[in-house]
Amino acid sequence: MLTPPPHPVKYLLLFLLLTALSASSPALATPSVRVTLQVAPEAHTFTCRYRFTLPASDTTSVVLLNLNRRYKLQQVQAPRAVQQRVASVLYVRDSVQQIQVRYAPNQRRSRYIELVYTGEIGQSNYTDQAVLFSSRSEWIPFRPYQEYEILPYQLTVQVPPGYQVRGTRPPSRQQPCRYTFKGTTSVIDLTVLVAQQFYQAVSAAGPPITFVKTGAPLTHTDSVNLRQAEVITAFYNRTIGRLAPINKFTVLLPGNNSGAYGLLDDATVITYSDFDVAQTDELLILAHEISHRWWAYGSFHDETDWLNEAFATYSSLLYLEASGDEAGYQKELARLAQTTTDKPPIWGFDRYKYEFTMHRRVMYNKGTGILHALRTRVGTEQFLNILATTAAQKTSTNPGFVQLVEQVAGPETGSWLLAELKR
Ligand SMILES: [Zn+2]
């Protein structure tokens, strides 16, 4: 069992110091997004009005927005722009329609770009009972390589009479057929579920964890899963998340069988209709996805993705071990280690030079092995201090993580970690 040290005072002070330092720099206004989504659930179509606003303090002169090529762009408005065009460009491994807007240099006024587009909801994103809009539906435009740019948003969803909407958090405003959500999250993570009927359950103890399901009432298995989500959250709040705990959490269960993915906005989407944490691999999925609430600041596109994926994978293993399944923990570590022999280093890894499976082997599996080795080296107590501080600081770079390890565990361990990342 893992038991956190009772008084992590030293690390709390370190964290407070770092927080104070970052708070002392002037707050910069960030861009923001405002989205109005009109859904026709029966026709499986939607219309979206998307407005991206740059604050006056942001002097960016060229703004690029990528939009999935499946959607029909009806309108682009960019007041004060000197040039605007839409081009088909290659992005990563696919082509997208790119809205390119150019401004005269040194604009010091707030500017917005507004797009209106319509589209069909992809087959993997609806069932007979529900329609899901999430990062997997790729329904939101984003700046190239900044899908996970964290921005304040306001999202209004309009649905026909008889339909309801659920999001990752309760709506800030709700009228018949019109729901408004406000928050701050990764831009492509804006997630809503539209259905005529929802089934809902809330955990009994600790921070409220809400399961929101469509298609069929919650089953006994769902209740067991909910209880497990409650225990996982409590465990993380005592360990990796103790400096920035979860206060509430939503699990969306749309039943469209297209994977599971964690969201920064205190929520996760689990689409499997037969999801059952009695299976160890599914328990690990649930624990992995909940932990992404802390592990989401690396980039999907580069070597810092291990700060997301290896950390989430190792967090799920920590939970498995703490739940009493030491053998399962060892077995899973050994299974992952088998896939990492002679694989390229994490440091400098370029996923786009390799087949997709290599990304998983290096970022997820090799990274998990390094975290296990780090824990073995510094001990569980010190290791949890490192993870809790990393989570609270939202560490997003590899040099930043090495530096943090150095501060907590000393320069020798920092050098050792650097060598591991370069091995
Ligand atoms: Zn993940």
CATH number, domain with residue 51: 2.60.40.1730
Distance CA 331, CA 329 (A): 6
What is the predicted pLDDT for the residue at 9? 45
For ligand 1, the distance from its centroid to the CA atom of residue 56, given in whole angstroms, is: 36
Distance CA 178, CA 164 (A): 9
What is the predicted pLDDT for the residue at 107? 81
For ligand 1, the distance from its centroid to the CA atom of residue 269, given in whole angstroms, is: 12
Same domain, 66 and 107: yes
For ligand 1, the distance from its centroid to the CA atom of residue 116, given in whole angstroms, is: 31
For ligand 1, the distance from its centroid to the CA atom of residue 284, given in whole angstroms, is: 11
What is the predicted pLDDT for the residue at 28? 60
What is the predicted pLDDT for the residue at 26? 43
Distance CA 36, CA 158 (A): 8
For ligand 1, the distance from its centroid to the CA atom of residue 244, given in whole angstroms, is: 19
For ligand 1, the distance from its centroid to the CA atom of residue 50, given in whole angstroms, is: 27
For ligand 1, the distance from its centroid to the CA atom of residue 309, given in whole angstroms, is: 5
Domain-located, residue 22: no
Same domain, 94 and 179: yes
For ligand 1, the distance from its centroid to the CA atom of residue 305, given in whole angstroms, is: 9
Q: Where in the sequence is the domain holding 356, given as residue range(s)?
A: 297-421
Domain-located, residue 392: yes
Distance CA 180, CA 173 (A): 5
For ligand 1, the distance from its centroid to the CA atom of residue 262, given in whole angstroms, is: 7
Distance CA 246, CA 47 (A): 34
Picking from 194, 219, 236, the residue at the C-terminal end of a domain is: 194
Same domain, 42 and 185: yes
For ligand 1, the distance from its centroid to the CA atom of residue 359, given in whole angstroms, is: 12
What total number of domains does the chain contain?
3
Domain-located, residue 17: no
Same domain, 97 and 39: yes
Same domain, 217 and 308: no
Same domain, 283 and 156: no
Q: Taking a C-beta distance cutoff of 8 angstroms, is the pair 116, 75 a contact?
A: yes
Distance CA 210, CA 226 (A): 8
Q: Taking a C-beta distance cutoff of 8 angstroms, is the pair 332, 284 a contact?
A: yes
Picking from 233, 260, 291, the residue at the C-terminal end of a domain is: 291
For ligand 1, the distance from its centroid to the CA atom of residue 345, given in whole angstroms, is: 19
For ligand 1, the distance from its centroid to the CA atom of residue 292, given in whole angstroms, is: 7
Picking from 194, 215, 243, the residue at the C-terminal end of a domain is: 194
What is the predicted pLDDT for the residue at 23? 41
Q: Which residue has the tokens 């994978």?
A: 313
Domain-located, residue 358: yes
Same domain, 91 and 120: yes
For ligand 1, the distance from its centroid to the CA atom of residue 366, given in whole angstroms, is: 14
For ligand 1, the distance from its centroid to the CA atom of residue 308, given in whole angstroms, is: 7
For ligand 1, the distance from its centroid to the CA atom of residue 52, given in whole angstroms, is: 28
What is the predicted pLDDT for the residue at 76? 98
For ligand 1, the distance from its centroid to the CA atom of residue 248, given in whole angstroms, is: 20
For ligand 1, the distance from its centroid to the CA atom of residue 259, given in whole angstroms, is: 11
Domain-located, residue 243: yes
Same domain, 139 and 210: no
For ligand 1, the distance from its centroid to the CA atom of residue 391, given in whole angstroms, is: 15
Same domain, 125 and 210: no
Domain-located, residue 8: no
Domain-located, residue 124: yes
pLDDT tens across 249-294, in order? 999 999 998 899 888 899 999 999 899 999 999 999 999 999 999 9
Same domain, 333 and 234: no
Q: What is the CATH number of the domain that holds 340?
A: 1.10.390.10
For ligand 1, the distance from its centroid to the CA atom of residue 336, given in whole angstroms, is: 15
For ligand 1, the distance from its centroid to the CA atom of residue 111, given in whole angstroms, is: 35
What is the predicted pLDDT for the residue at 29? 85
pLDDT tens across 84-132, in order? 999 999 998 899 999 999 999 988 899 999 999 999 999 999 999 999 9
For ligand 1, the distance from its centroid to the CA atom of residue 176, given in whole angstroms, is: 36
For ligand 1, the distance from its centroid to the CA atom of residue 261, given in whole angstroms, is: 7
Same domain, 46 and 168: yes
For ligand 1, the distance from its centroid to the CA atom of residue 158, given in whole angstroms, is: 31
For ligand 1, the distance from its centroid to the CA atom of residue 55, given in whole angstroms, is: 32
For ligand 1, the distance from its centroid to the CA atom of residue 375, given in whole angstroms, is: 20
For ligand 1, the distance from its centroid to the CA atom of residue 115, given in whole angstroms, is: 31
Q: Taking a C-beta distance cutoff of 8 angstroms, is the pair 63, 121 a contact?
A: no
Distance CA 228, CA 91 (A): 39
Domain-located, residue 9: no
Distance CA 255, CA 125 (A): 9
Tell me which residues of the chain have a pLDDT lower than 70: 1-28
Same domain, 321 and 257: no
